[in-house]
Amino acid sequence: MAKKTTPVMTGSQFLALPAAEKDRIYAALDSITPAQLRARSRPLNAKERAEWRGIKRKLRRSRPRLGAGVEKVSVSIAKALLAKADALARKKHFNRSQLVATALAMLVAA
pLDDT in tens, 66-108: 677 778 889 999 999 999 999 999 999 999 999 999 999 999 9
- Which of 51, 103, 59, 106 lies closest to 81, judged by CA? 103
Q: How far apart are CA 21 and CA 13, in angstroms?
A: 12
For the full predicted model, state whether its pTM sits above 0.75. no
Half-sphere exposure of 36 (CA within 13 A, CB side): 6
